[in-house]
Chains A and B, each alone.
Chain A
Amino acid sequence: MLIAAIVALAVGTYAFRLSGVLLRDRLELSDSLQRMLPMAATALLTALAGTAALMAGSEFAGLARPAGVLVGGLLAWQKAPFVVVVLAAAAVAGLLRLAGVA
């Protein structure tokens, strides 16, 4: 049963991935719809970042994680290198937790 569930999830996930790639050729999209595809991807990624930054499960993520993401986001806005953004976000969240802030 365990392996059946894992294979089902793997096949379904791969089907989502591949069908998007293959559908792109089948669909005759107007120019305006084609311009919307990267916008749709960016909206999904922004939503992922937003929910991952603010929420843990269905509840608010507390203080440490949003604070870390905020610092990282501000650095990114100031065009800091990617590696600095990632390390600063992790350091702020980790240090806040070390200091007892959830």
Chain B
Amino acid sequence: MGTLYRTKARPRDIGALAAATLAVGASFGAITIAYGLPAWVPVVMSVLIFAGGAQFLAVGLLAAGNPIAAVVAGLLLNARHLPFGLAVADTLGARWRDRLVGSHLMTDETVAFALAESSPAARRRVYWLVGATIFVTWNTGVVLGVLLGGATGDPDALGLDAAFPAGLIALILPSLRDRGTRLVALTGAAVAVLLTPVLPAGLPVMCALLGLLVLLRPARRDPARRDPARRDPARRDPAPPSTPEAADQVEKTTEPKEASC
């Protein structure tokens, strides 16, 4: 790797991600063919949509002859990319070309790898490196899956369904050292898991943003009300945090994206 910026992400880490992505991409290609859909479908989907979870969900509904449900379900699942975009906007770069291309490379793993870096330069480098790696390996895997068909094997038999959440956990853990982040994230994850049996796919994960409401608790101030004046910086002032540390913890702002639940 280059020596300009030190990154926490190691080549072997990105290699492991690449191998797993290749294997899951192959299974996506093979499954789509097994559904009886034309060979161009998985290839075009993977290049244009480039979101694994939504692709698996949508292809099942497409095969069942329900294209509208495929679009709606896929979009619900991908709505999380909007808050992801807010979080990594500064990472992509200021140029239009970088924003247009970088946005398409946005995936859970790209965001997780980038946010695990501490310096902006390392975040940017890792975002692009991981994004490009996943784009190439995912699409290569899908083409291989289409060509090889059932010979690619079942990703569950290889335990890949456990590898992806475990990899995410490894990337998230350092940011969970921060108490506020830990409270928000664990509350949000609990909400999402509990809502999974009752809400359509995609919504439970979006409802994890409700975890941000725990930041309201120390202030004890209108926790239920959405604040229309949230963009007014002056409204932060009246709160009297007792210590500078408390000022960091105490957040009175309401979460703008909770309306999705």
- Chains A and B bind each other: yes
- A residues contacting B by CB (< 8 A) are 1-10, 12-14, 16-25, 27-30, 32-33, 35-55, 57-59, 61, 64-69, 71-73, 75-77, 80-83, 85-95, 97-98
Residues from chain B with a CB closer than 8 A to the CB of A37 are 83, 86-87
- B residues contacting A by CB (< 8 A) are 9-10, 12-13, 15-17, 20, 37-38, 41, 44-45, 48-51, 54, 58, 62, 67-68, 70-71, 74-75, 78-90, 92, 99-100, 102-104, 106, 108, 111-112, 115, 156-173, 175-176, 180-181, 184-193, 196-198, 201, 204-209, 211-212, 215, 230-231, 233, 236, 248, 251-253, 255, 257
Given A20-B85, A28-B231, A44-B209, A13 and B167 contact (CB-CB distance below 8 Å): no
The 6 listed contacts between A and B (C-beta, < 8 Å) are A4-B67, A5-B70, A48-B192, A65-B165, A68-B163, A94-B159
Number of A-B contacts (CB under 8 A): 329
Residues from chain A with a CB closer than 8 A to the CB of B100 are 18
Main DSSP-derived SS at the A contact region: helix
Residues from chain A with a CB closer than 8 A to the CB of B85 are 16-24
Closest to B192 in A: A47
Q: Are A20 and B86 in contact (CB under 8 A)?
A: yes
Cβ distance B224 to chain A, nearest Cβ, rounded Å: 18
Q: Are B166 and A72 in contact (CB under 8 A)?
A: yes
Q: Are B54 and A9 in contact (CB under 8 A)?
A: yes
Other-chain contact of A5, B67, B89, B162, B191 (Cβ < 8 Å): B67
Closest to B69 in A: A5
Closest to A82 in B: B13
Q: How far is the CA of A76 from the CA of B171 in the complex (A)?
A: 9
